[in-house]
């Protein structure tokens, strides 16, 4: 019974937290990647909703473009990660966005849904533009 009480008082961060700087970098990267990836079925639903809205307006073209925006100016650029030791690390979204890995991972996520990925930056706003050949991808 004493053993159970000791486990209840143990800091969960110490049991499952990040120990090395490299683990902190990877966690910050995964947080950023998650902010830029929409589940393909959710994306398909959003596109269908936009298409349905546009179909009521006769002059509107079918949608073949979707943009995900990420603000990286000022405090919005920082990802904070707390290590097991209690030390807080700061990582820049801009630095991650300038790496080839992010584009590769975005392509890996969106390509199976039939999307072409084009990341870009306009000042302090990064965007991930998704294009496809049809009015909407048939399968997700």
Per-domain residue ranges of the chain: 2-131
Amino acid 51: pLDDT: 82
State how far the Cα of 80 lies from the Cα of 124, in Å rounded to an integer. Answer: 19
DSSP letter string, 115-126: -EEEEEEETTEE
pLDDT of residue 15: 60
Closest CA to 97 of 122, 114, 115: 122
- Which pairing describes strands 88-92 and 78-82: parallel, antiparallel, or unpaired? antiparallel
Unique residue bearing structure tokens 């399968």 = 139
Q: Mind listing the pLDDT tens digit of every residue in the chain (140 residues)?
A: 334 444 455 555 556 778 899 999 999 999 999 999 999 999 999 988 888 887 777 777 777 889 999 998 888 899 999 998 889 999 999 999 989 999 999 999 999 999 999 998 888 899 999 999 864 445 44
What are the DSSP calls for the chain, one per residue? -HHHHHHHHS-HHHHHS--SHHHHHHHHHHHHHHHH---HHHHHHHHHHHHHHHHTSTTPPPP-EEEEEEE-SGGGGEEEEE-TTSPEEEEEHHHHHTSHHHHHHHHHHHGGGT-EEEEEEETTEEEEEEE-SSSS-S--
Sheet holding 125-131, edge to edge: 65-71, 125-131, 116-122
Residue 140: its pLDDT value, please? 46
What was the pLDDT predicted at 61? 73
């Amino acid at each position: 019974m004493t053993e159970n009480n000791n486990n209840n008082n143990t800091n969960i961060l110490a049991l499952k937290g990040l120990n090395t700087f490299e683990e902190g970098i990877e966690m910050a990267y995964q947080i950023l990647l998650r902010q830029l990836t929409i589940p393909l079925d959710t994306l398909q639903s959003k596109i269908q909703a936009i298409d349905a809205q546009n179909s009521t307006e006769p002059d509107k073209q079918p949608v073949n473009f979707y943009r995900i925006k990420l603000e990286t100016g000022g405090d919005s650029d920082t990802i904070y990660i707390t290590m097991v030791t209690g030390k807080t690390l700061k990582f820049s979204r801009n630095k991650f966005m300038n790496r080839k890995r992010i584009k590769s991972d975005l392509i890996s996520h969106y390509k199976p849904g039939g999307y072409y990925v084009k990341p870009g930056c306009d000042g302090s706003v990064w965007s991930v533009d998704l294009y496809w050949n049809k009015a909407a991808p048939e399968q997700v």
